[in-house]
Amino acid sequence: MTDDAQVDSMPPVPLLKPIPPPYDIGEWQRKPFPERVKMVCQSWALQGYGTPSPIYIVYILKIALYVWLWTVFCSVTPGLGDLGSFSAWYYEPIAFQKAVLWSMAFEGLGLGCGSGPLTGRYKPPMGGALYFLRPGTTKVSLFPGIPVFGGSKRTVLDVLLYAAHMFFLFRALVAPELSTDLLLPTIVLLPLLGLTDKTIFLASRAEHYYTALVCFLFAGDWLAGSKLVWVAIWLWAATSKLNHHFPSVVAVMQSNSPLTRMGSVRKLFYRSYPDDLRPSRLTHLMAHAGTAVELVFPVVLVLSDGGMPTTVALTVMLSFHIFITSSIPMGVPIEWNVIMVYGAFVLFGHYADVSAFSIGSPLLIAYLAFALIAVPLFGNLVPSRASFLCSMRYYAGNWAYSVWLFKGDCWKKIDAHITKVAPGLHAQLEGMLDEDAIIASMSKVLAFRSMHLHGRCLQSLLPKAVDDIDAYEYLDGELVTGIVVGWNFGEGHLHNLQLLRSIQEQCGFEDGELRCIFVESQPMGRGTHAWTIADAATGVRETGEIAVKDLLGLQPWPAIPSD
């Protein structure tokens, strides 16, 4: 049977059962590690994560819930909220402002990015509030060790601050009108929460929603300020893709897209399936064209004051975000794409006559210069010191990441000693899938990491970290932080040395029982990835750098020794 037939003619599967890989799992487990990586990468190229179609329907329903609840919050203001008259009120200032507030609450609860099966969450399908409201769970303080807020475990005070933050958010959402006194508690509390646990600040997508919220405090300037927030997000996101990483992102994402289910189509994204899985010329063209589009349409929008240029730019913007959303990227930032589109039509469509450069408040100008220029620029130049979210380096493939290697069954120490809501991924899937399906599903995370350009770093780092990879359970740091911390969305700084030290304090691993590889993002203007190898018990073992140019010629899997 051909590879196309194996993928294209898969029989219907239950709701949660992934599409099985085109090989026997037992036989795959007996292969040497390099061969296992090659096989699972080849499987990803044609099958992606293997997500069954009904899972996509679940995410679509979640978008509908997100939008419907926003209309409910709008409905407390007379004349708003009725979907039948949507065109008559969608552009009202309070409707837009409540969309931002609701998006912050939705994400801060753990319902948005990082929820559901496409982020390794099954039972329960979310983390977020389930962790943030539970004392004793692990947190990631901004400044570890400082008094009151610098601990590694959530206190009652931390829980109360988070609960108060959510209370004030929902108080504003159900208010018939928005005023400064309704917004100020959030303005104060969210940065405070970021000090005690940066996870909550990042999960709330503060680089976007908090910055817009600050604009709302300036009655005469909030529309112009919000326009600059939207434009900055697009332009920085596009700028971050001007590297060698993004073509791999496109290939990996399209191999997982529900719109490209045929293997014959997915092969086009690679140079020569199955032996050369570097991005093809078509993929490079798609990546560069997409980047150019994301650079051009926001410039047109911010410089136009209506008419045909604005209409064309809004149409291009809508097509751009539809393409991203329909691909259902891993991490599922779908609701974020929805509000970006909605905000664009409000800010640049209905209020096209308001200039983004008409801000009169020096205070707001200074704040936006800091939040939209200084922070992203610093984060791109010195990525080790800033979140990729605050750097607005979205889905560019240039993320910090980690790999955690647990010797034997040492993962059980996590279950035994750490307060958390979700068990390990294997335990979450027990009772839902058979053993082969569980192993196949977990192995796809290895493929996802390996097929991105930065994943090639592991080919030289894994042998440095451990002598025998087969003696260890390989877990991506995303899965570890999702289970231990309660939220994950590609933010490698949530599962770096700080989290390793916190876990070691609670679990007490012996030397060699837990080894970690930490790989940092490539800084703008430099051509290297910094890396660190550490042992939970003894600390940092080795550091170094890898040149990005040395990764371009490599396949996603390690070299396989010839017989």
Average pLDDT over residues 30-51: 94
Provide the pLDDT for residue 4.
Answer: 43
Provide the pLDDT for residue 317.
Answer: 98
Provide the pLDDT for residue 17.
Answer: 77
- Per DSSP, the three-state class of 165 is helix
Over 50: is that where the pLDDT of 16 sits? yes
Beta bridge partners of 545: 530
Structural Rg of the chain based on CA atoms:
23
C-beta of residue 488 within 8 angstroms of C-beta of residue 482:
yes
Provide the pLDDT for residue 78.
Answer: 93
Query: Which tokens belong to 527?
Result: 């051509």
Provide the pLDDT for residue 15.
Answer: 59
Average pLDDT over residues 413-435: 92
* Cα–Cα distance for residue pair 108/298, rounded to 1 Å: 27
How confident is residue 14, by pLDDT bands cut at 50, 70 and 90? low
* Cα–Cα distance for residue pair 344/264, rounded to 1 Å: 36
How confident is residue 50, by pLDDT bands cut at 50, 70 and 90? confident
Over 80: is that where the pLDDT of 8 sits? no
Over 70: is that where the pLDDT of 55 sits? yes
Lowest mean pLDDT segment, chosen from 232-236, 403-407, 436-440: 436-440
- Over residues 123-139, the pLDDT tens digits come to 999 999 999 999 999 99
Provide the pLDDT for residue 563.
Answer: 60
C-beta of residue 230 within 8 angstroms of C-beta of residue 534:
no
Q: What DSSP line would sit under 220-278, residue for residue? A: TTHHHHHHHHHHHHHHHHHHTTSSSSHHHHHHHHHTT-TT--SHHHHGGGEEETTTEEE
- Over residues 479-525, the pLDDT tens digits come to 999 999 999 999 999 999 999 999 999 999 999 999 999 999 999 99
Other beta carbons within 10 Å of 409: 8
How confident is residue 11, by pLDDT bands cut at 50, 70 and 90? very low
Over 60: is that where the pLDDT of 311 sits? yes
Query: Which tokens belong to 81?
Result: 């909220």
Over 90: is that where the pLDDT of 24 sits? yes
Average pLDDT over residues 179-204: 97
Instruction: Single out the residue of 84, 504, 510, 48 nearest to residue 270, CA to CA.
Output: 48
| Maximum separation of any 2 CA atoms in the chain, in Å | 76
